[in-house]
Amino acid sequence: MAVDEKYINGEFYTLLTNGQTGKIALMASTTKSALLTQSMKKFGDQLFSVRILTRDLASNYDWFGRENFMNAAQVADKFHVLKHAFDALQDLRIYYRQKLLTQRREAYEAYKSERKKNPELTFKYTETKLSNNESHRQLLARSQYLLYKRKDDWSLSQKHRATLLFKHYPDIETAYELICQFRTWYSNDNIIDKEMDKSDKIKALQAIKTKLIQWINLVEKADITELVNFKSLVERHMGHILNYFYTGATNAIAESNNSIIQQFLNTNRGAKNLDFFYFRLSQFLS
């Protein structure tokens, strides 16, 4: 099963999707674990047959899974984990850009103060142009998309921009390399073969965990706040993240249903008549 949330008409809904059929088993207009548990009572003993529950990293769904799917291994969704990783990298880029924007704002405020004394004064703020004819602010703004890509996928202009970015902001290069290492570690190539003996599976999983701990140590040495925050998240959810390599399960089916629901919302410009909206979903997704 896969659990995820969806925003509809000002409310957050919880969607519980069958990973084998792709159909929605439960749609509830709440994300609270206690209310969801009440809704699950109608499924009775069927809950014990669930072996895998994929979900995002929200704590309420952790308790929801523990209370209702006692026989299921909880798997942190790979997409959500990597999103947090890239968010940490982008936060570092934004931090440096905000510092430059603050400098410009302070210069303008100082100009306005001086202009009261000298009305003929004009605002001048000179920014250094780099070899690609971009200012530092432009460099940081336009580097957003290259940080999502591997080096081999960069275009020629992105390679040049990355060289300048890493030269002037070495912290971003360090963070980028660490995120790329984590991304490689999280590859589906490392999923454990289901045909292996149990003892071999345990050894393989231990080797994967060892590599993750080595990456955590590298992040601690780098001491970049944004990455340390992401590292802390990984440590808190380590068991559920490692379950991905044991099961190979993701929340893709839930994300697919979210996309279908969003298409319904876009087509009808929202969901003004909720009863009819629910009826359409029940015909299409259940």
Name the 3-class secondary structure at 256: helix
Hey, what CATH class is 1-77+250-286 in?
alpha beta
pLDDT band at residue 85 using 50, 70 and 90 as cut-offs: very high
Q: Where in the chain is the domain with CATH 3.30.420.10?
A: 1-77+250-286
Q: Which of 102-116, 235-249, 264-278 has the lowest mean pLDDT?
A: 264-278
Question: What's the confidence (pLDDT) of residue 228?
Answer: 97
What is the average per-residue pLDDT within 244-270? 83
Distance CA 72, CA 26 (A): 17
Q: What is the mean pLDDT of residues 145-152?
A: 95
Is 202 a residue whose pLDDT tops 70?
Answer: yes
Look at residue 11 and give its three-state secondary structure: strand
Say if residues 281 and 268 touch (Cβ distance below 8 Å).
Answer: no
Q: What is the pLDDT of residue 270?
A: 62
**Banded model confidence at residue 103, pLDDT cuts 50, 70, 90:** very high
For the chain, what percent of residues have pLDDT higher than 90?
60
- CA distance to 183, 231, 243, 253, per residue, from 237 (Å): 16, 10, 10, 21
The DSSP line for 81-99 is HHHHHHHHHHHHHHHHHHH
Of 127 and 183, the structure prediction assigns the larger pLDDT to 183
Q: How confident is the model at residue 2 (pLDDT cuts 50, 70, 90)?
A: very high
From residue 187, alpha-carbon distances to 127, 208, 216, 267 in Å are 41, 11, 17, 36
- Residue 269 confidence (pLDDT): 63
Instruction: Outline where 116-268 has alpha helix (H).
Output: 136-142, 156-168, 170-185, 198-222, 225-236, 238-247, 252-267
Give me the mean pLDDT over the 135-154 stretch: 95
Is the pLDDT confidence value at 179 over 90? yes
Question: Within 13 A of 283's CA, how many CA atoms are on the CB side?
Answer: 7
pLDDT of amino acid 174? 97
